[in-house]
Structure 1
């Protein structure tokens, strides 16, 4: 097992930013995963002989219980979790008595229901060596996880990662199919013009019959030839085009949102965090384009980090306002998002750190540990999709994040 002292000295994984990037690549909706994993949490609890089992994924600020047995899936601040220690290493992490450990004895799940005492967790490690979260089993009484049970739990953890990869593969296939359909529509549209021109010219020649003169016929033939050549070039372009080039990042159309559904999703995922902090979260939108669909890709990762960050740095009874709108510019649709809080504010130096992708951790308003790499992740994702991010702030007054993302044309 990992030593307690080593864990206290290293509260953040050494590869934390890379870990967050890989987690974001799965592009998960944490509120919509339970059906895929509930059977594995039940199996884990039965194997371990414990009352409770949870599958937890850990992002920049939050531990998301995406499936559970014996306890409903919940979300909690990352710094309140036991699994934050599990993801530091490669081997199982065990706490025999949470109530006898200074780090956990005052946590709500120890002091109040379900009055947990025992914890055993194993990291959910990807092929790239990043721990996305943990599978954990817990109980009100001390338990003993034998070597045989440990091996079975390791197999279950491996199956969880395999299912995450399967979901990711299915999403990629949906993306590919959508792109192919869009390419087919584009090609069909582009081909209609030359074909229509050829048919039209041929019809003119036919209608004129004997009245055709040689020069006009030759001119028509030249135009037909040009249209035919255009079709051949288009066919060559279709046959040689790499629709999946890594040099063309596109927003994944695996799921489509509009402003209304995105607003609902923000409330579903982040209203709990705001309520726990006693902060008012409000989402406003310009509804004239509210029903226009756009792809979901990475929006939850980008907006979620900004909203969680705003809640973290806003004092009790403060406000976090999110504004959503959709605008058309330069033949593209742009999602425009602003996240404003009336919290601690950000210094000019720190704003430059964030915009340069070099931000570090800092403390929240009630002493929460900082996991400031979430803002670096936002900058990374916005840049990846050729968006724009601006930050305005005054210390002690407010912070405002403005994000513009291309979401198709």
Structure 2
């Protein structure tokens, strides 16, 4: 098997992709028109909009071919994100890198490929727009330029989706802040009104000492309201976790997304993947920030190092306290396991590439990305493993109660 190509800026590329915080199964309709347009422009039967993470190529939309994902090492687009402007294969059947791939030997028996990188504003290739056909093709310079314009529009829409998602989060945060302010101010404000009313009702019967005491209480209540206002106005929004969006991201929603995205990967290797939630907290809203990226990489890694016929278990739970809560993600497999040195490298963010149990290619950045994302969310990860005894990854992520 040829050595898989890895971009020199792979870690930065993966971080750039993770910044979009995408659910790869949600955006088929967002890009369907552009995928169809790309096929029409190129005169090909098939076009795909592909995003490439540490382990997987995700086809988030397409025309002429129903496919949602494939292992990164099987894809042609892994070469497109290496090249500067485009990557073309005139005949996949005669190319040593691709002639034995399932999409060449079996239906749709593809022959022609042309891919254009999806380049972010930070100059990272997070995926590719590709056109494919069962017959040889030749694209004119004019068609290539049109495909580049379509690729730019795809990236522009990804940024639009990112902005809209942030605005939804901020709107939810504003609503929650409004509720909190109304609740917190009601107490001291009611006290002020009550004391003022008491003074007014007593009229001339008020003793100067009582009035002074009442005034001190009013002052303290007013001061607490001002302190609350200062706290709200000076709060550093960067330190706040994004609130759950208006659709309420819960453990049940999280479970459903993980099953839809990763059960196909597991089945492809004859591995049983199960996802379970804690019944007492599965309906509580939580922040979805980077959860799919973190958990998805852990699941893909577990599948990679578990032999066919094995199992991967994912447990999701939420520990709820009076003021905050903690999300716990537990990914357990019965795979090859990790020695102490390997665990130490992962925890230091220095994990290196190794082959999977079915000779899957190693890219060496999945667990490093997971460690980085967990750190940015002020979380923690523990790893329990021994060689040939499987592995357990336990992630804890603090959540702000809504």
- TM above 0.5, yes or no, is yes
Structure 2: gaps (5+ residues): none
8 Å Cα contact 1:61-1:305 kept in structure 2? yes
**Where does 1:87-236 land on structure 2 (aligned, <5 Å)?**
87-236=81-230
Task: Give TM-score scaled by structure 1 length.
Answer: 0.94
Q: 1-side partners of 2:274 and 2:102: how far apart?
A: 27
8 Å Cα contact 1:346-1:395 kept in structure 2? yes
From 365, 371, 379, the counterpart of 1:387: 379
**Where does 1:6-405 land on structure 2 (aligned, <5 Å)?**
11-238=5-232, 240-244=233-237, 246=238, 248-254=239-245, 256-329=248-321, 331-405=323-397
Q: 1-side partners of 2:242 and 2:338: how far apart?
A: 30
Q: 2-side partners of 1:286 and 1:235: how far apart?
A: 37
Q: 2-side partners of 1:365 and 1:289: how far apart?
A: 35
Runs of 4+ in 1 over 3 A off after TM superposition: 232-238
Q: 1-side partners of 2:322 and 2:397: how far apart?
A: 13
CA RMSD of aligned residues (A): 1.5
Query: The residue matched to 2:280 in structure 1 has which SS?
Result: helix
Query: The residue matched to 1:22 in structure 2 has which SS?
Result: helix
Q: 1-side partners of 2:59 and 2:165: how far apart?
A: 21
Instruction: Please report how far the alpha carbon of residue 192 of structure 1 lies from its aligned counterpart in structure 2 after TM superposition.
Output: 1.2
Structure 1: gaps (5+ residues): 1-7
8 Å Cα contact 1:259-1:287 kept in structure 2? no
How many residues are matched?
A: 399
The C-alpha deviation readout for 1:41-69, integer Å capped at 9, x for no partner, is 00000000000000000001000000000
The C-alpha deviation readout for 1:109-157, integer Å capped at 9, x for no partner, is 0011100000000000001010110000000000001111000000000
Query: The residue matched to 1:119 in structure 2 has which SS?
Result: strand
- Rate the CA distance shift 1:81–1:182 in 2: closer, same or farther, 3 A: same
Q: 1-side partners of 2:135 and 2:243: how far apart?
A: 46
Task: Give TM-score scaled by structure 2 length.
Answer: 0.96
The C-alpha deviation readout for 1:12-42, integer Å capped at 9, x for no partner, is 0000001111111100000000110000000
Query: The residue matched to 1:302 in structure 2 has which SS?
Result: helix
